[in-house]
Chain A
Amino acid sequence: MLLIACPNCGKRPETEFRCGGQAHIARPADPMTVDDGGWSEHLFVRANPKGVHAERWCHIHGCGRWFNALRDTISDRFIETYPIGEQPKSGVKPGTILGTSSATQSEARA
């Protein structure tokens, strides 16, 4: 079970959260001007990276607030959580594959 740091409540077990899929997909300002291809892209096409992934999470059984998170899909390690509407502070780019060298142990303990 993941341990997720809600920006409002602190670390809480995964069962308190709901995952909302890929983050940073803004609803087009005027959807009616988007062509069919662009709209189907917006609706259905999502990244499925091996490595760092930006996701939306909601602390549904806690404060009820949505937030964003960077999670490494290889190790399930959370790099950071950050408020909706903001960009990650760590500067780690989604899609990055983090090393599994000896650094991993100290990172795992971070």
Chain B
Amino acid sequence: MTALFAHITIQLRRLLRDPGFWAPTILFPAMFYSFFGASMSPDGLYSQFSIASFSVYAVVGIAFYQFGAGIAQDREDPFDAWMRTLPASTLPNALAQMLVAMLFALIAVMLVLVASHLFGKTQLDTEQTWRLLGVCMLIAIPASLLGIALGYAASAKAASALANLIFLPLAFLGGLWIPPIAMPDIIKEISLWTPTRQMAEMAWAGIANTMPDTNFMLGLAAYTIGFGILILLLIKRDRQKRFG
């Protein structure tokens, strides 16, 4: 068994045996879509955009609540400190966390797609579905980086509360719950600058089979780099704090 496989296995075992930790995060986007997205969006492309919006919501939610909060808990876990004494365990552990988060994000998106078949006015065709899944895996990278930053910025106790404080406004501002066209003008302006709006634009472009606006792509690339730098600074602070 390689170290990476061992880390993936142990993380999956821990999560699957503790469904209370992940089930709400995975089920909530599909449930939320069924209650609001499916019934409130008009027919046609807008209905399909709604599926994409809630899929992005699912990916970012997993990154915040499972990945971010999980890292915050691990940082205070003596087992995590002990794992650092194993040879070459840091990179496999980080990679495994990211892959497992992506797997759970994929499952959450699939549940949204299932909900769209059950309750939606319009469904995605096969090509649209594959494009959406591809975009979701792509945006999982900046979303995971933001989740990691949250995990290193907050204590285990504060992580969930902080995730709510950041994630819910970001979801609203990004147009994941209601389309930007329905937002007040000032919110529309702010929305353009949020990473969730830029992620949503990627997903909507995937559904419409068009290229996203270059500004949104550049914006998301800048956020990705920014989150990466923030993580490096936070990891340095964390190491200093924990190990001196």
- A and B interact: no
